[in-house]
Chains A and B, each alone.
Chain A
Amino acid sequence: MERWLALSAILIPWLGAVIVWWAGDERPDAVHTIAAAIAMTAGAASLLLIPRVGDEVVFALDAGVFFGTFTFLLDGMGVFLAAVACVIGALAVIFSVDYMRGEHQLSRYYALILLFIGAMVGLSLTGSMLLLFFFWEITAFCSYALISFYNDDPKAVAGGLKALIMTQFGGIGLLIGALVVHRVVGSFQIAAFLGGAGSIAPDVLAMMAFGFLFAAAAKSAQVPFHTWLPGAMEAPTPISALIHAATMVNAGVYLLGRFYPAFEAVPGWKTAVVLVGVISASLAALMALVSNDLKRVLAYSTISQLGYMVYAVGVGSVFASQFHLLSHAVFKALLFLGAGAVIHIVGTRDMREMGGLSGKMPFIRNTFIIGSLALAGIPFLNGFWSKELILEAGLEGGAMWAYAIMLIGAGFTALYTFRMVWMVFYGECQTEKHVHDAPMFMGIALLVLALGTMTTWLLAGPFGDMLASSLPFHIMHIETTWNLVKTILSANATWLAMMVIAVGIACWLGRERLVPVVRACGFLKKAAEADFGFEALNRSVVGAVRWTADTLSVLQSGMLSWNVLGIVGGLILTLFILAWGV
């Protein structure tokens, strides 16, 4: 039974992708319905997997000596990420029914979303590192194709290409790591690697650890690879919610969490992880504070929160990072979908042209505020519990300077969140357009996510249980939900964080009085607007890749014979080297 559930969670979306593509563009209503139905079925299948978590392999296919065995396991971390991907995927598809009404080429859109959902489930459930890489690359392709969905808009195409090139650099790190594992341990299985990590030579292990960190940082848009995520905001907003907030960017954190037992002993690795997390969290928070584009603020906020999750892994608490991953997926998807609803209705992404919308779209305002409170870490929403857990873990397990910076970062998070909410919903109304509240399907998606934001923290105990019982190599300290609540409420760290957040909110409310301070930090503002120089760096990397491609295109004469000559020449050369080596 488990085997078929696991396989169907991957294959149903993929089958749906083929069906939707076949339905074509002539029948948009059929396409909407089929896509929503398939997405919801996949969501149900993934939720049915949760009670069946265990640590044995549920499906194994022997693919010969070179590819190892293709295995799928149902352990806690994998099933959790798969369920997040499917459920939020289903909600994003439902949202798209209203958002993409009247758009062209819907079959391509939905087919790519369903392909992505299936690949994400495959990524989380697989136990073979080769298959992990395979699914990783499929998600990268879907992300690129969906960012460039409006392919007649040069900004969208450029954003998609930038995302693709940068995440592919990371993918190289993953592939090299997988191949090195196979060489040293003899198998592609993750369990074999985690069990045998003690016997690998330290420098090889160090190379793999940093290679994986590289791949995870590129995928999760951490510094210095973070500039692709703001550029990916050209995608339709449900895509931003699904891929760039709730699922694909979490794959990097998932990678770090899964391989943590093997790498924690590598000297300097944990410090590097903490450093990456801290820098990303703080720089991104500053960049969110100065941005005027609603989706960009959310993108920087995503980078910042992912920095918190990476930091949690670095200080040793994989549970805290996964718990924050759950909370963040829910509230960030809520924020993105809410922002999408606002953008769809008002017609612009610039927050300076919004304002005063509170009275005209009460439903969106309410759900958006719930999400924002969760992001800022206000008590009793899921963001509060998970962020406090991370900060506590940081206090116990990590360096003091890192903890201090993350604490201040929490204050900045509250600051930019309140700024965002105020600029969109309160103040003077800057737009002339006729605005209305959310249409039905958008409203359904927003409502479900808002309810989730208010309740997912209750799952902390069972979630911890599920993780601890099914991951044989991870050492976790888990408690019941009630114990967790008591611990967090009574910890000093919590009250410290509350004070910092209150300071953050006070800064926003008293912003007129802080104007001289803001002016003094003007240089910081300019630096933040310029992405602290990383944008220029990454633009030059992407530019170099494209220049190389353009120059080499001279070799593409279009003539079959010359291409074949090249192929045959290469073949002879390779065979010659092989024969000589043997």
Chain B
Amino acid sequence: MVVTFLMIGVVLAAFFAILAKRLLASTIWLAVLSALSAALFYVLGAPHVAVIELSVGAGLVTVLFVFAIAVSGGEDAGGPAPIPTVVAIVFGLGMMALLAWFILPIEAPEVIGEQMSFTQMLWEGRALDVMVQLAIIFSGVVSVLGLLGENVDAMPFARRKEGDA
């Protein structure tokens, strides 16, 4: 079935993204992961989020990654990790087991509330969220401008103090 295919695809894409030897390959697998999860969202009945996830995750973030990798000189991402692989695998499996214990089987009471439309819910029910999103976007823009500015010095105040002292 479609869902089985999507499910297997999502898990495989995640693993390949991590295990890839080259950074660009990793990014492409991330894009595949985004696309497959967008499809999964659509099948689960969340079309708005599916569209947003597809355009942002598979589009915007991928382009950003490629750009950043190109600007800093793409290179191989290999080499053994400082932590022994066994430990990492144990932690990974441990987390998976814990989560399985926690959330399976999926049970939730059917909530029949008033059915608002998506836009109505977003702007009225979650107004605080939207305001916080705006604040975060603003601070993100300020941070990036500060980080990538032309005359950014490592420690401007220290430099000025030394210059004066």
Contact = CB atoms under 8 A, between A and B. Distances in A.
Question: Are A and B subunits of one complex?
Answer: yes
Interface of A: 25, 61-63, 104-105, 108, 152, 559, 561-562, 565, 568-569, 571-572, 575-576, 579
Nearest to A575: B98
A62 to B, nearest CB: 7
Given A104-B164, A561-B81, A572-B95, 14 more contacts: A25-B157, A25-B160, A61-B128, A105-B160, A561-B83, A562-B82, A568-B91, A568-B95, A569-B91, A572-B94, A572-B98, A575-B98, A576-B98, A579-B98
B118 interface: no
A254 B153 CA distance: 44
A154 to B, nearest CB: 15
Contacts of B94: 572
Q: Name B's interface SS.
A: helix
B5 interface: no
A351 B112 CA distance: 75
Given A25-B160, A104-B161, A569-B91, A575 B128 contact: no
B152 interface: no
Nearest to B82: A561
A258 B164 CA distance: 49
15 contacts: A25-B160, A104-B160, A105-B157, A105-B160, A561-B81, A561-B82, A562-B83, A565-B87, A565-B91, A572-B94, A572-B95, A575-B102, A579-B98, A579-B101, A579-B102
A559 B95 contact: no
Contacts of A565: 83, 87, 91
A571 B98 CA distance: 11
Contacts of B99: 575
A62 B128 contact: yes
B5 to A, nearest CB: 30
Contacts of A562: 82-83
Given A565-B87, A572-B95, A559 B157 contact: no
B82 A559 contact: yes
A579 B103 CA distance: 10
Chain B contact residues (Cβ within 8 angstroms of A): what range?
10 to 19
Contacts of A579: 98, 101-102
Given A104-B164, A562-B83, A565-B87, A63 B128 contact: yes
A356 B99 CA distance: 77
Interface in B69-84: 81-83
Contacts of A571: 95
Interface string B96-120: 0011011000000000000000000
A384 B81 CA distance: 72
The 10 closest A-B pairs by CB, nearest first: A561-B82, A561-B83, A579-B102, A575-B98, A568-B91, A572-B95, A572-B94, A579-B101, A565-B83, A576-B98
A116 B50 CA distance: 44
Interface string B149-163: 000000001001100
A418 B128 CA distance: 56
B79 to A, nearest CB: 12
A571 to B, nearest CB: 8
Contacts of A63: 128
Contacts of B82: 559, 561-562
B161 A152 contact: yes
A561 B91 CA distance: 13
Contacts of A104: 160-161, 164
Nearest to B99: A575
A193 B161 CA distance: 51
A565 B94 CA distance: 13
A547 to B, nearest CB: 28
Contacts of B161: 104, 152
Contacts of B98: 572, 575-576, 579
Contacts of B87: 565
A575 B100 CA distance: 12
Interface string B128-165: 10000000000000000000000000000100110010
A265 B54 CA distance: 61
Contact of A572 (B83, B91, B128): B91
A63 B95 CA distance: 31
Interface string B25-62: 00000000000000000000000000000000000000
A62 B101 CA distance: 33
B68 to A, nearest CB: 18
Contacts of A108: 157
A104 B128 CA distance: 39
Contacts of A61: 128
Contacts of B157: 25, 105, 108
B162 to A, nearest CB: 11
Contacts of A576: 98
A559 B83 CA distance: 10
Nearest to A568: B91
B157 to A, nearest CB: 6
B159 to A, nearest CB: 11
A220 B82 CA distance: 49
